[in-house]
Amino acid sequence: MTNAEWATRGNKVFIGTYSRFPAAMVKGSGCRLWDADGKEYLDFLAGIAVCSLGHCHPAVTEAICRQAGELVHVSNLFHTPPQIRLAELLVNNSFADRVFMCNSGAEANEAAIKLARIHSGEGRYEIISLAGSFHGRTLATVAATGQPRFHQGFEPLPQGFVHAEFGDPRTIEALVSSKTCAILCEPLQGESGVRPLEPEYIRAIRDICDRHGLLLIFDEVQTGLGRTGTLFAHEQLGVTPDIMTLAKALGNGLPLGAMLTTESIAASLTVGTHASTFGGNPVATAAAVEVLTLMLADGFMASIREKSAYFVDKLQGVAVRYPQWATGVRGRGLLLGLMLTDKGIERGAEIVQRMFEEGALINFAGNRVLRFVPPLIVGTAEIDTLVDKLCLVLDRLA
C-alpha cells in the first residue's frame, strides 16, 4: 500500500476534521519517521510536542510491552501500581500534593475547571483566560480558549468564561468580579504562535489571584515535562500555580493527562464528583513512569537548554540571512518559533509544505510562526540538517 492508496481509503471514511499531510506514517525511531512509500522524515513536530523522548524510545516501548503483558485495564475501582508510581513521581517533583488522571489535555483542563468551580463555591464560577490561548476542543475548554475561530458554529457555549486581552494585567483585573473563581493561562502560548508570557506579567497575574482570592491554573499541557528546558515551564517564572494540567508528553505518545493541585484544594473533589473510565490506564501510566524517570535523570534538563541555545542561535542566523521572510525567534527550550514577516506569513503554509517535500516536518502555528518542537533527545547534527533544509526551501521561495 502506498501513501496515495492509504490517503484515498482514509479520505473516504473519516469525518473531515483534519487537513493531513499526504503521507501515511508507518514507522518511527528517535527523530525520524518513515511513510508508506519508504520516504524518511526528520520530525520536528514530534506528534505535536508529544513524543518528547523520540519515537519508539526503547525503554518506553519495553515498559509498554511489559505492562501490556501483565494488565491493561481495570478502571479506577481499583488501585494499580503504575498509576501510583506515576502519581508519586509527579507529586515528588512538583508543587502539588494530589493528582487526578485522565486521557488528554482537554480532559485535564475540564477537571481543573470543575475543581476551580466546586472549590470556590456557589456563585463563583467564572474563569478568566487570555486572548490567543488554547485549552482544548471540548465545549468547556473551547469556551475557555481565547480564539473566536474555535467558537464559531458551536454556540451557545457553556457560560462562565471571559477573555482578557493579552499582555496587560490591568485588562485581567478589570474582568474580576464576585463571580470570578480562577485565572487560567498557559505559561507560553503554543498553538497560537509560540508566544511566551513575560515573567513580570505572570507575576502580576499571580498577584491578582492572591489579592482577589482566585485560583491560578497553569495549562502546562504543551509547556510541561521538559519542553521549555525545566520540568515545568513555571519553574523559570518564579510563580507557582494552584492547579496545573499536563498531557502531551506525559505518555510519550500513549494518551494520558493529569491535573495536579495542593492538598487543601484537592479536598473539594470528593468521592463521586469526577471520574474517568480510562484515566490513568496501567499501560499509559507505565509508559509515563519511564518517561519521567528518564527526564529526571541527571543532565537531561540541562541538555535541553544547551540544545535550545544552539537551535536559537541557528534560527537567528536564518532570520538574519532571510530578512524578507523572517524577523526573529521566540519561545523557550525546544518550543521555538521563527517569526515571519507579513510576506513570510502569506507563504507560511507553503514553507511547511515544501519542508515536508524535503523530508522535514514542522508546522505553522497560529498561522503566524514556523513552530519547531522536536523530540527533546534531538542532536545538534539533526538541528543542522533541519536548518539546512529550511535555508534550501527559503532560497527557492523567491
Residue 191 sits in the site that holds ligand PLP (CB under 6 A): yes
Strand order through the sheet with 98-102: 98-102, 257-261, 243-246, 215-219, 180-185, 126-130, 161-164
The least distance separating ligand PLP from the CB of residue 367, rounded to whole angstroms, comes to: 16
Nearer to ligand PLP, 52 or 222 (CB): 222
Nearer to ligand PLP, 190 or 282 (CB): 190
Nearer to ligand PLP, 250 or 394 (CB): 250
What 8-state DSSP symbol labels residue 294? H
Identify the residue among 30, 54, 190, 374 touching ligand PLP (CB under 6 A).
190
Grid cell for residue 219: 495549562
- Burial of 255 by CB count in 10 Å (0-12 exposed, 13-18 middle, 19+ buried)? middle
The least distance separating ligand PLP from the CB of residue 183, rounded to whole angstroms, comes to: 15
Distance CA 356, CA 339 (A): 19
Task: Tell which phi-psi region holds residue 299, choosing left (phi > 0), alpha (psi between -120 and 50) or beta.
Answer: left
Distance CA 294, CA 161 (A): 38
Residue 226 sits in the site that holds ligand PLP (CB under 6 A): no
Q: Which residues contact 217 (CB under 8 A, 6 or more apart)?
A: 109, 112, 116, 127, 182, 183, 184, 185, 241, 242, 243, 244, 245
Q: Across 81-189, where does the E strand assignment appear?
A: 98-102, 126-130, 161-164, 180-185, 188-189
Nearer to ligand PLP, 189 or 308 (CB): 189
Residue 282 sits in the site that holds ligand PLP (CB under 6 A): no
Identify the residue among 247, 259, 292, 336 touching ligand PLP (CB under 6 A).
247
Residue 242 sits in the site that holds ligand PLP (CB under 6 A): no
Contact 245, 259 (CB under 8 A): yes
Nearer to ligand PLP, 106 or 183 (CB): 106
Distance CA 67, CA 62 (A): 8
Residue 106 sits in the site that holds ligand PLP (CB under 6 A): yes
The stretch near ligand PLP (CB under 6 A) out of 32-40, 130-138, 276-284, 328-336 is 130-138
Residue 221 sits in the site that holds ligand PLP (CB under 6 A): yes
The least distance separating ligand PLP from the CB of residue 358, rounded to whole angstroms, comes to: 26
Distance CA 164, CA 176 (A): 10
Contact 138, 107 (CB under 8 A): yes
Distance CA 163, CA 128 (A): 6
Report helix, strand or coil for 331: strand
Grid cell for residue 240: 507557582
Cell 493579552 belongs to residue: 166
Nearer to ligand PLP, 219 or 242 (CB): 219
The least distance separating ligand PLP from the CB of residue 110, rounded to whole angstroms, comes to: 9
What 8-state DSSP symbol labels residue 155? P
Nearer to ligand PLP, 331 or 344 (CB): 331
The stretch near ligand PLP (CB under 6 A) out of 173-181, 194-202, 215-223, 384-392 is 215-223
The least distance separating ligand PLP from the CB of residue 145, rounded to whole angstroms, comes to: 8
- Which x/- pattern, by CB under 6 A, does the window 363-382 give for ligand PLP? --------------------
The stretch near ligand PLP (CB under 6 A) out of 104-112, 177-185, 307-315, 355-363 is 104-112
- Which x/- pattern, by CB under 6 A, does the window 248-277 give for ligand PLP? x-----------------------------
Residue 227 sits in the site that holds ligand PLP (CB under 6 A): no
Report helix, strand or coil for 257: strand
Residue 147 sits in the site that holds ligand PLP (CB under 6 A): no
Identify the residue among 43, 186, 242, 382 touching ligand PLP (CB under 6 A).
186
The least distance separating ligand PLP from the CB of residue 255, rounded to whole angstroms, comes to: 8
Nearest residue (beta carbon) to ligand PLP = 105
Residue 219 sits in the site that holds ligand PLP (CB under 6 A): yes
Distance CA 48, CA 40 (A): 18
What are the residues binding ligand PLP (CB under 6 A)? Answer: 104-106, 109, 134-136, 186, 190-191, 219, 221-222, 247-248
